[in-house]
A and B are shown apart, each in its own frame.
Chain A
Amino acid sequence: MTGLCRIYSLLLYAYPRDFRRAYGRDMQQLFRDRCREVGRAAGWQPVLRFAAHVAHDLFTTSTRERAAAIWSAARKSPRRGFISEWSVTILMYLFAATTLVQAYVVPTGSMEGTIRVGDHMLVDRVSYANPGLVGRHILPYREVRRGDLVVFRYPEDIRQNYVKRVIGLPGDRIRLENKQVIRNGSRLVEPYTQHITSYIDVYRDDFPQPPEFYTTPRGRDMLARHVENGEVVVPADALFVLGDNRDNSADSRYWGFVPRSYVIGEPLLVYWSYDAPTADLEEWSVDHLVDVAEHFFTRTRWERTLLVPRSQAAREMGGAR
């Protein structure tokens, strides 16, 4: 019970400082008295009902008191009180926002067809984050699956984030034949891909091959150490990813596997899609701001607003060997 009271005393930080100072001690007293009362009752039901009630009370009234504090601070001293009260609130929400989701802009067209250049999206950081033993049961954690869209650190330069589709999990054998992916001996039917060229590029479309000009050191390492019988074999704790715009995508074919720990999350939703050139999206510039101000309404792709990019599993045809 003392543990519960300590947790409650921490939760009181959801209330504005003045309110907490005035009533925090009394609220803890009341909480402890109620705990005793509920503890005397038999069974789990009253305890659960009490917990739900207190959580609801805390959430609604702390929001209300914060709004009231902001309101009265704004009326009393328009400058300092207002800013300090808002900043606490904004900091709290920012903390939650940066822990759970992350904003990400797509600068290149390698996923064109599914995700477009200029899509601004929120990335769910919780689902794929390794939560440890306890969190596994509380958080909505799940393993990466084939066909999932993932946002990850680009292995050749971890300051950049990339988004691609997962094709191979550890142990999978991958090759491409005539632009078609063959995974573990089955031809994949991938309705989400697009091909913008009709000619066959030997390296790109009949993979794996000896390294070519665009193959990076990590890609060369993959080709040297993880090819067996003309197929790439995905090692433990790694993913093989490809872009949906298959003919114009720098992906695992060129720079190797994505270590599992580099995965940031799953695209959650596109909150704004703006038609802008790659260079403007990669680096911040005044010109881009002016461009957005000028063309916000015409170049925003309204039909993509609040769009949820879907993970989609490929159908396996079988009999490729």
Chain B
Amino acid sequence: MAKPQSPEELQPLTPPVFHILMALADGERHGYGIMQDVARQTGGALQLGPGTLYGCLKRMLSARLVEESDERPDPALDDERRRYYRITPLGDRAVRAEARRMADAVSAAIGKRLLDRRNAGFSGGKA
């Protein structure tokens, strides 16, 4: 895989990749922790299956967006060792750039009266 130099080259990120980066933005997590956090972020709309999650992590590792931290048990779950992942500086820049890109897209949508400005929620169909 070619190593991208700037976060802009990675845009747009796929939804699973974007949400995985967000899950890792506030600290390192193991696979199940990432999956739970992504479900929380999206209100349960995006449930990452095992194949989707580890397929993405594999590609994100080779693109240097994330890196493996270490292997240790999660005291809250059981005493099995789990592999933890953390975000890299490139990953951090990529998720910020993507969030900015989406914010720009949202303000464009508000400008076209596709979204309500106050809560940026769906306006209910009638503009």
- Determine the distance from Cα of A56 to Cα of B49 in the docked complex, in whole angstroms: 9
- Chain A interface size, under 10 / 10 to 19 / 20 to 34 / 35 or more: 20 to 34
Q: From residue 40 to 91 of chain A, which have CB atoms closer than 8 A to chain B?
A: 53-54, 56-58, 60-62, 64-65
Q: Which of A22, A54, A64 contacts B50 (CB under 8 A)?
A: A54
- Asked if B80 and A27 make an inter-chain contact with CB atoms under 8 angstroms apart, the answer reads no
- Determine the distance from Cα of A28 to Cα of B52 in the docked complex, in whole angstroms: 13
- Asked if B32 and A61 make an inter-chain contact with CB atoms under 8 angstroms apart, the answer reads no
- Asked if A30 and B50 make an inter-chain contact with CB atoms under 8 angstroms apart, the answer reads yes
- Asked if B54 and A64 make an inter-chain contact with CB atoms under 8 angstroms apart, the answer reads no
Q: From residue 83 to 103 of chain A, which have CB atoms closer than 8 A to chain B?
A: none
- Determine the distance from Cα of A22 to Cα of B68 in the docked complex, in whole angstroms: 12
* Interface status of A31 (Cβ within 8 A of chain B): yes
- Determine the distance from Cα of A58 to Cα of B32 in the docked complex, in whole angstroms: 17
- Asked if B49 and A29 make an inter-chain contact with CB atoms under 8 angstroms apart, the answer reads no
- Asked if B47 and A53 make an inter-chain contact with CB atoms under 8 angstroms apart, the answer reads yes
Q: Is the interface of B mostly helix, strand, loop or mixed?
A: helix
| Known pairs A30-B53, A33-B32, A61-B49; A23 contacts B58 (CB<8 A) | yes
Q: Is the interface of A mostly helix, strand, loop or mixed?
A: helix
B54: chain A residues within 8 A (beta carbon): 19, 22-23, 26-27, 30
Q: Which of A19, A57, A65 contacts B49 (CB under 8 A)?
A: A57
B121: chain A residues within 8 A (beta carbon): none
Bitwise, A253-278 to B at CB < 8 A (1) or not (0) is 00000000000000000000000000
- Determine the distance from Cα of A56 to Cα of B50 in the docked complex, in whole angstroms: 11
* Interface status of A240 (Cβ within 8 A of chain B): no
* Interface status of A15 (Cβ within 8 A of chain B): yes
A31, A34, A60: most-surrounded residue (chain B CB, <10 A): A34
Chain B: minimal CB distance from A31 (Å): 6
- Determine the distance from Cα of A29 to Cα of B79 in the docked complex, in whole angstroms: 12
Which residues of B are at the interface with A, using a C-beta cutoff of 8 A? 31-32, 35, 47, 49-55, 57-58, 77, 80, 82-83
Which residues of A are at the interface with B, using a C-beta cutoff of 8 A? 15, 19, 22-23, 26-31, 33-34, 53-54, 56-58, 60-62, 64-65
